[in-house]
Structure 1
């Protein structure tokens, strides 16, 4: 069985410097071989000159003595051109000496032209080719070190953010009543920022490890294999020169032909890879090569955390946008990598074919073969660069999916473009003003969503698709109305939504596990907003209402044709609720724990729909109805004149600063009557967890919308999800 040829990339791994030095020594040694042939040519030239001078001198002597030696000093008949046999023989000897002189002169010229000059050219080519490898390796190392540096910077940024977060937490603890809400807002913002930077750090960590693995297992081994190929090509070229010089000497010196043939046979046994085997045997470590360890997550000394990807709702939005950006460029990169890989394989096939041709032609390395080698190295360099980008994007996508699953399955990412606003514009996400005229904001080309450049990655992937100007304006009004409604209720609901000390969520680690991504795929359609009369009406433009089909000649493509999810419908303030029953006030904040219950913040006023039944009372908070523990509410007397705004603000501040723990919740009452809902729009299920609906279909309501735009219903004993804004209670 034939022994497999050695492979530097597989055997030596991270050994570019010694391999490069070894190959450089071999190329430098070619100068000695060149000098040898030049000196040998000088000797042959001197010998040829001396033989020629000798032959000329004795030709002159012969011409003077030919007549006397042939016919005597005083012949009677001039012999003319006739020579004696002895002189003819002598003339042949001198002529042979002259021919030998010419043969040595030809051998000297051939040694310079075919050996010394050839080695000089090869030496220059191989050295230039070796320097390309050195430059390639330096570039790979520089890119690797740059990635290491990026990881270090990301780690430093993460530590600094954690330190700042700790400072925000301390400020909240030390803040007085008047400044606590502002401190809490700063703390929440910094917490979200820390999560994003942490995720960036973890993603960069995985990218760096993948980059490192590619560097040691793909890039450097390819360079080493190319250096091995260069050295073996050099050895083959040296064998070619040596065989040529041997043949020339055999032809010029017949008497030494046996010795030259023996030397040629000895040269033939000098296989190119034998030097490589000896080098490997003397350079391979005793215990084998040890791969450098992977990088790992280092928790901040200020903010003690785990190495888990943060997957709370805000982080999932950022991750969803992150994976969308990565996916957008991954497909084209994969195609480019495949194309470049095919080019490299094609050039390798050409290289093998050229090597076979050179062996058939006596081992002569042609200029075309050198061009193939140069193109092959250039193709490998381009492939390594593009493949590194592909690996980085794939690791980003895999890292996010391992933590969150198919988070981008039903996502509809906004198509943002950089925008300069000439008029005052509010961010549809944080609802702050977008300042500056030089591309300080972003606008979705499909639905017109506007936001700060820094808010782009925080916008949920729920774009409704291409809309006309009228629909964009109406949806803009809905978003701004929602932002105004959310800001008014935010402070009063803080104690009910935080479970840590002081009711402000000051935990030192908020890393959470993965959650369902169903909320990111809720359908979006013509918006309905709350009115002061407690009902939902379709938002209308001053000229054209939002409907599934517009009046324009070429209506734009819509992604869905139904009302928006409940998260686009602002909750009615308590004072705007329809006065269709007695009112009560929440003595304690309550969080829903089961079907039919609702979450209400402390101090909120609700409308009592059904009186106490088994310790539970059915109430309405805004547009949401459900039951809360009777012990958590206090019935209110008929409305009195409202206190001054200052008194209300102070009262709200006192309620926010006081943490009350509600009484024990009674068991849920049995035999509660079922709530039915009826479809008001048709809907086609996108997954196996959703129902198909036709307008008028009835279902049993299991769980109302909890803020993600979906409701759980039951039909024929099967429970699935439907869009909450596609059904209404009956």
Structure 2
């Protein structure tokens, strides 16, 4: 039988198809109820059994139309019934002739038929809910997005036209507004170009939505209903077999039921539904350029100097994004082609061979891959349309050279996070221009700087007249199935993980998702969720396998250690006192804020640092505490502490005084010079760098530490010191310092730092 597709035949038919599938799934409740009641009535034999079959024949008559052709068919079916309804009618009719039963048969009927129908109905409802959820939350949102995108671009364009008109009116009255007029004209032209780009992108996304994305979802509903038919056939066959064993005298009647069920091909219901719901469908009107009522009346691009520069920046990013997502889209298409072939192979199996779980697993994997493809292909389509539109509309001798520009990345700024956006922005700048950067909020931040020379003229055919190769379908009414086989990497969360950064993703045990990029040795893997969310997660928290593999979902348990954060080894500064920037180039800082150290204080009292939002500037950090992190050691620089004052004030603590005096003596020994009591102390933690002799004793509370004089001295001058004796003693001193710190304001910050480390 020829391949059929609801998605190709019924354009924009989500509501009708969803209702039809819902009716078919709910109809399983009738079959379930029938066999459940029959298992009880079998003991009461012929009389009540006859009444039961009559009742369900009546129900079937009332639901034949909705089950066969949906709630609102375009053509009434008359007396025609779907293949499933014909099969069901045969079951009921033959059941009317059965008037004898046994208790054993009643028990078998309950366990081998009723429970299976219940399980089937539950599974189908679960997968139908997933399809509805994706349609309502993702597909419709994408449709609303490109519609809103056009409206927003149109409004911005109209606003700039109005501003231009206002500036023109002022310029006519006074020449001092001439510069302002030129600026407003440039802004208006840029807005117009962006509006034209948006219209073209929205049209292409609209085509993709109606001819590709939505039909795929409709086909998944079709698959779900056809899988239902396959499994229902098996259950009905089992019921017939049980009856055959129960009563040989009724074997002839039951054999007729079995034969009818075997003739219930999974495509027959779909064919009847399409035939009675097909109608002439009119495609929604394309978006088109609407000229402003006060400025411009044509749809041509403005390609003067400033406007052309902005178009070239758009072209540069679009070319890169087209290349970036092109390979991802092709891989996803190959993967989906393989999954589609598996779906077809499952349908071609005999009813006895058919396995519902594997079939539904394929549907889940297909939906997961499809969601990732739709998102990537939308990005690719947008980039291709931008390239095509710019190259087709910038004609003549205008040079579209963009290869003297290269791309770099930049994180989102502080105010982006305040607005709730964790994405990175694309920022395009031109070293040869003093115009403001071009921003693209769709992906990673990118800025264009000077690079190699390679011309791209408007006559280039690399992107001119392109056609977007769709996944398995085009605008034609027939689907095209790829035969390419590919392996999809699928990840399962072994443990719960909570994202700790904007580029990470949270997951729960047993959650399934596609793997976007495998571990490159950093300990992190990029994942894509069916909701469209993506991010990095620890590789040790995952089980990664191909779609052909099966694995059990482990119970909830504690995961292994999370790999070290990316970007470790940088120096950081913890701010003790706030500072407000007074000049350009300075950076405001706040109490307890942590900064990345960019350039240390050179003696001027100023330190250059980077805050968590990526802003860099000079700040007065003279009294701040510096934390220097690396893989093997940690250094804590304390502000000046008067050890002499502490000794004098803590006279009641004889041990305290004695140990602090020992500390000062040790500092003298280490440095080999006299040391003033008020000199600052440096405590360096974890390991003693570049020193010979035994490793220092480990301290459970503070780790292994050693103390040196604050001034830089030659490390070799300390090599002869007895570290075996010094280690435990120093550990005691540190404990003592923490005790004193809780009582003395001068050391409170010191003890807090040790407790933190």
TM-score normalised according to structure 1 size: 0.49
- Which is greater in Rg? 1
